[in-house]
Amino acid sequence: MSAHFPQWLEWIGVAVFALSGALTAARKRMDPFGFAFLAAVTGVGGGTLRDVLLGRPVAWVVDPTSPAICVIVGLAAFVIGARFAPANASLTRPLLLADGAGLAIFAVIGAQTALLAGAHPLTAIVLGTLSATFGGIARDVLAGDPPLVFHREIYVTAAALGAIVYVAAAYAGYPAIYGALAGVAAGFVLRTLAILRDWSLPAFPGANRQG
């Protein structure tokens, strides 16, 4: 039903999530250590939660490639940003787009890992969604920002869509790489459209009322 797809897909997810952490560090005007630290927390946070919940060895403890990628991305962002980025440049949209790419990739990877571990399809979707959002939550909390999952804008929904598309493709018998690409595309496109068009889910009635 489901097979492993290339390791490079997870490394890409780690790198783009690490970039979102580095962009947050840039917005907060942190030092190089802050860049590397936020990049690492964001890049490996979701995978750590995934592995802990599945009761398997944490991937970056066994193979340090992912944290190494995070540190390299974080320090490179510091050096390049300090030399070439305009002082008044807005980092909000690049941050959201990088986060959206990492979100979509980790949703698919989390769902696939859960299926390979024998999880129920619904469990795989939930785990994919959790592993896609946890790194961003950790980043925002450490940076002193309200986590994106608490915003009305479409975020968790995009991660869930990516996981759903992958799980559906896996059960339909499509090759894992095709399902992965479809899931990543679905999650990223929805998140990108939500950013560009300011889409959001409806708030609870009366949430803005006083008294």
Task: Please choose, from the candidates 3, 73, 8, the residue with its C-alpha nearest in 3D space to the C-alpha of residue 38.
Answer: 73
Nearest alpha carbon to residue 105 among 191, 174, 10: 10
| Four-point Cα dihedral 12, 15, 16, 17, nearest 10 | 120
Q: Are 99 and 136 in contact (CB under 8 A)?
A: yes
The pair of three-digit structure tokens given for residue 209, joined into one six-digit string: 């009322």
pLDDT tens, per residue, the chain with 211 residues: 455 667 888 899 899 999 999 999 998 999 999 999 999 999 999 999 999 999 999 989 999 999 999 999 999 999 987 665 554 455 577 888 888 999 999 999 999 999 999 999 999 999 999 999 999 999 999 999 988 777 777 899 999 999 999 999 999 999 988 999 999 999 999 999 998 888 887 877 765 544 3
Q: What residues contact 54, with CB distance under 8 A and at least 6 apart?
A: 113, 114, 117, 119, 127
- Largest interatomic CA distance in the chain: 55
